[in-house]
Amino acid sequence: MYKVFVNEKPLFLTNKFEKETNFRIYLLETVNIRKVISELFLNKIESAYLYHPDEKLIMKTLKSKIPVAKAGGGLVYNTKGEILFIYRNGKWDLPKGGIEKNEAIEDTAVREVEEETGVTGLKITDKLPKTYHIFKRNGRYKLKITYWYKMQTDFTGDTAPQEDEGIEKAVWLKPSEVEAALGNSYENIKLLFETEKV
């Protein structure tokens, strides 16, 4: 099953029918995807399930219905075991950004962390689960797929938040401070930490 967030509300892509009835189920093959997304954006529904019988074709089918934007980002640890967070639009987030033409997604992730935080000397140590959310730009909905990587650095200098991208802070948080930050973060970021034991 995939979980795609629309305005912080979950859109589940599944190949199993659930017995509960407190959410809407649509057939992925025939659904008017823009209508469902719009209802989630406008708070007309709280969540929805898109059903497709073949689990291997679920994401491919969704991608055929909505344009895709790829991004790369990092869950970065320093030598003290602290985690690099950014603060933007009133929420705590992890550094990430869009892929450039002919760029490997791992290079995107490293470049974006460096640009958004000023932190250098990054080494990818592991691949993390991808996250999915739908956003609206120029009146069109797009599916953003973010490829996440666990990274390590021995960087000890000052961070340099990328202000022209609206980043107010780039800070190292101790493991004991992470939970409070996640209380004011995005659902996709919380999902990453569910798989990553801090």
Tens of pLDDT, residue by residue over 10-41, are 999 999 876 655 668 889 999 999 999 999 98
For 151-158, what is the mean pLDDT? 96
pLDDT digits (tens, 9 = 90+) for 94-124: 999 999 999 999 999 999 999 999 999 999 9
pLDDT for position 195: 75
For 158-176, what is the mean pLDDT? 96
Give the mean pLDDT of the chain. 93
Q: What percent of the chain has pLDDT over 90?
A: 84
pTM metric for this prediction: 0.91
pLDDT digits (tens, 9 = 90+) for 3-12: 999 989 999 9
For 157-168, what is the mean pLDDT? 96
pLDDT for position 21: 57
For 151-159, what is the mean pLDDT? 96
Tell how far CA 146 is from the center of its chain: 5
For 64-83, what is the mean pLDDT? 96
pLDDT digits (tens, 9 = 90+) for 181-193: 999 999 999 999 9
Domain boundaries, the chain: 2-65, 68-195
Per residue, what are the HEC states of the chain?
A: CEEEEECCEEEEEECCCCCCCCCEEEECCCCCHHHHHHHHHCCCCCCEEEECCCHHHHHHHHHHHCCEEEEEEEEEECCCCCEEEEEECCEEECCEEECCCCCCHHHHHHHHHHHHHCCCCCEEEEECCCEEEEEEECCEEEEEEEEEEEEECCCCCCCCCCHHHCEEEEEEECHHHHHHHHCCCCHHHHHHHHHCCC
CATH topology for 68-195?
Nucleoside Triphosphate Pyrophosphohydrolase (3.90.79)
pLDDT for position 190: 94
pLDDT for position 18: 66
**What type of residue sits at position 183?**
G
